[in-house]
A and B are shown apart, each in its own frame.
Chain A
Amino acid sequence: GDSVTQMEGPVTLSEEAFLTINCTYTATGYPSLFWYVQYPGEGLQLLLKATKADDKGSNKGFEATYRKETTSFHLEKGSVQVSDSAVYFCALGPDKLIFGTGTRLQVFP
């Protein structure tokens, strides 16, 4: 069946460092891909999405490109901030979202 694999965390970075969180997927058909973020004590928030191959989703300085040839949707940010510390979930859809296990990001000043 469909599945999502994310890199194990935690990812620990200094402020202003470059971030990459890897996500690969297995799916039949043409799924949509999502990144959700969960800040401490809160529910999940949609960060960005891409609905077809080669689409790039972007929001708040984060980007991810839907790569069909490598079945990947890696999350990147050029310069992280302490406020980006959270758990990041990759997911595929569109109707029944299938989530990865989440990757915790810790950013230190």
Chain B
Amino acid sequence: ETGVTQTPRHLVMGMTNKKSLKCEQHLGHNAMYWYKQSAKKPLELMFVYNFKEQTENNSVPSRFSPECPNSSHLFLHLHTLQPEDSALYLCASSLLSLGVQETQYFGPGTRLLVL
């Protein structure tokens, strides 16, 4: 399998549930990203990891907890979410992310609905 994959593609959860989103990249990249895409709003960068280390947290609420066990895998752990957290969550990767003009490659996203 090539590129950036995300699972699950769709997720419905209650506000008291705990779930995790998974992202995997097969491109040999060292930087990975989580974005939130809501209707009528620009993509919002949530987290950036470089070589497994978190280098950016864009003021994301603590109910979103990222984990990057290695350069190929990125998780987003979800707990006690709110209905306004319903959105498309996109994962991306790039070779590096340190002010270098690198292309980001995106996965297909996980469509999340919080009830």
Which residues of A are at the interface with B, using a C-beta cutoff of 8 A?
4, 32, 36, 41-46, 49, 51, 89, 93-102
Contact = CB atoms under 8 A, between A and B. Distances in A.
A49 B101 CA distance: 10
Contacts of B105: 46
Given A43-B4, A43-B90, A94-B99, A101 B41 contact: yes
Contacts of A89: 43
Interface residues of B, number: 24
B53 to A, nearest CB: 15
B97 A45 contact: no
A98 B106 contact: no
Given A36-B106, A46-B103, A95-B97, 8 more contacts: A32-B101, A43-B92, A43-B108, A46-B104, A51-B101, A95-B99, A96-B45, A101-B41
B15 to A, nearest CB: 27
A96 B62 CA distance: 21
Contacts of A94: 99-102
17 contacts: A32-B101, A36-B106, A43-B108, A43-B109, A45-B106, A46-B105, A49-B103, A93-B101, A94-B100, A94-B101, A96-B48, A97-B43, A97-B104, A98-B42, A100-B42, A101-B41, A101-B42
